[in-house]
Structure 1
Amino acid sequence: MDRAPLGGKTILITRAASQSSEFTKLLAETGAKVLEMPALEIREPSTWEPLDQAIATLETFDWLILTSANGVEYFFQRLETLGKDVRALGKLKIAVVGKKTEKFLRQHGLKADYIPPDFIADSLVENFPDPLQNQKILFPRVETGGRKILVQELAQQGAQVVEVPAYESGCPRQIPAAVWQALEAQTIDLVTFASSKTVRNFWQLIQQQGGDLALLKPLKIASIGPQTSQTCLNLFQRVDLEAEVYTLEGLRDVILDNCV
């Protein structure tokens, strides 16, 4: 018998191909067999013009808000493409949501001025360190499909928020053949979701392949946090596990606590 905690378990992860290796490693260390089904493709936005205009006028902003690793990477890539570096940020303060976003920011030699206590965007407004009235905020983000609540709440507090597309995330064309075979053979024990968009794209791909909810009946569904869980409930009518800490480590831990 396999003595590793999740030995004998097969877990399907649905992160973007460019982001899956870290989570695959976390789960493989527990003894699980990991199958990857990228449910997101990260790519450039349809136009760079809004971001380029914002970068050209960085000195007019008070805060830069970054809520994802993709937002960090594409913002700084564009900064470099335009012949600038971190010095262009001047006295601009930076707020980030989540440990992973903070980690990617540090890789560019910068430290966040503000990180909300909870790893969700809503917490950012509640605990913002400056009065938001008349603050001009730059928010590079995904082009389509992002939640609007953060911008709405910032604006309600009197902030001027400039949203600019920094990257796009789309749905892949199909499910990898090995994953579809495993789903049909019912050899997968659990599927994980780290964002609402991966839930929606996963379900789109399942239906596109001719599958339905019966295909998911043998699986446990694990979610990284409340918003992702709500999307699971909307589409699958259930969610079995939700991380207490909204990180990949938190998602791994709730699986360990409930599936060993």
Structure 2
Amino acid sequence: MSRPLAGKKILVTRAHPQGEGFVLKLKGLGAEPLHIPLIKFQRCWTDKTEDILTNLHDYSWVFITSFNGVKFFFEWLEEFKVQLPSCLKWAAVGSKTEKALHEYDVQASFVPESYHAQAMQAEFLSKNRNPGKVLFVRGNLSKNVLPEAFSHQGIPFDSLTVYDTLLVKEVKNLGEMLPEMDALTFTSPSTVKAFIEAVDVKSARYVPCFCIGSSTAKAAEAAGFQSIYVPHEFTVDGMIEIIIDYFQKEGKLHERP
């Protein structure tokens, strides 16, 4: 069995439970992951939560852009004992979100070819000029790319925040473990923010830093990291591919001619 990351110590900052799957994949490749979740999630109530969820028949499409969006949205539906209208269509940002919908017996009608909000809005609007009223399900730190696109196109929509992203304040021994790390991984700008609040980033600025997407990479760059890598596909599997590629190339750099 190939173990291309044998012995590599890799920091995983992703929250539970998604971080656990990342850790298992790294272990399967021979790595020695250190899982220290730097963010956590909690269900969020707003003054329009109940009104929107009990009037889902007003919408044609529901946009969901994360696993957590699916999880907490359906928790609220269960809370209010809401039955989903059969006419609703669903847009999921990527395969993981689509798979999460499947767990609730919901089939996504639209998944973009590239897994990020910019591609999602461009591809969706090119295929759906008059989609009807849209419900955008989000977390408190979600970007406004989609709402701004809907506004610009004159598409009626509502946004519903169903969860909050919270930074983990107490992170024990992370600073002491950093000198041993061969790589750092970040799966959101929030994980970068939590990291730099927990430790002195100067002690890790030259450690290879693997980011799940462009917005996370921008946060890492602003924080002072010097070696930043982003996969073509903004997924954990894409991150793993570039981590493997990095260490294979690094090994070749140290081979004798």
Q: Give the number of aligned pairs.
A: 246
2:170 is matched by which residue type in structure 1? Q
**1:8-43 deviation line (CA, Å, top 9, x unaligned):** 210001111222111001111110000012111101
Runs of 4 or more above 3 Å deviation: none
Match of residue 220 from structure 2: 232
Distance 1:102 1:255 in 2: 25
Q: Which amino acid aligns with 1:78?
A: W
Gaps of 5+ in 2: 249-257
**Aligned residue type for 1:35:** L
Task: Give the partner amino acid of 2:185.
Answer: T
Q: 2:255 aligned with 1:259, yes or no?
A: no
Amino acid at match of 2:182: D
- Tell me how far apart the structure 2 counterparts of residues 187 and 123 of structure 1 sit (CA, whole Å): 37
Matched, 1:44 2:64: no
Q: Which residue of 2 aligns with 1:27?
A: 26
Show the counterpart of 1:54.
Answer: 52
Contact 1:132-1:159 at 8 Å conserved across structures: yes
**Partner residue, 2:98:** 102
Separation (CA, whole Å) in 1 of partners of 2:247 and 2:228 = 11
Q: Partner of 2:17: helix, strand, or coil?
A: helix
SS of 2:180's partner is coil
Q: Distance in 1 between matches of 2:205 and 2:106?
A: 45
Tell me the amino acid that sits aligned with residue 234 of structure 2.
Answer: Y
- Give yes or no for the alignment of 1:136 onto 2:133: yes
Deviations 1:33-56 (A, max 9, x none): 0001211110121x2432221111
SS state at 2:71 partner: helix
Counterpart AA for 1:154: F
2:61 equivalent in structure 1: 63
**TM-score between the two structures when normalised by the length of structure 2:** 0.90
Secondary structure of the equivalent of 2:105? Answer: coil
How does the TM-score come out when normalised to structure 1?
Answer: 0.89
Q: Percent of counterpart pairs with the same letter?
A: 26
Could you say which residue in structure 2 is the equivalent of 1:199?
192
Q: Identify unmatched segments of 5+ residues in structure 1.
A: none
**Distance in 2, Cα, partners of 1:217 & 1:140:** 35
The residue that corresponds to 1:14 in the other structure is: 13
Partner of 1:222: 210
1:238 CA displacement: 3.0
Give the match's secondary structure for 1:200.
helix
Q: What RMSD in Å do the two structures reach over aligned CA positions?
A: 1.7
- Contact 1:51 1:140 survives alignment (8 Å): no
Residues 234-255 of structure 1: CA deviation (Å, up to 9, x unaligned): 1125343211111110000000
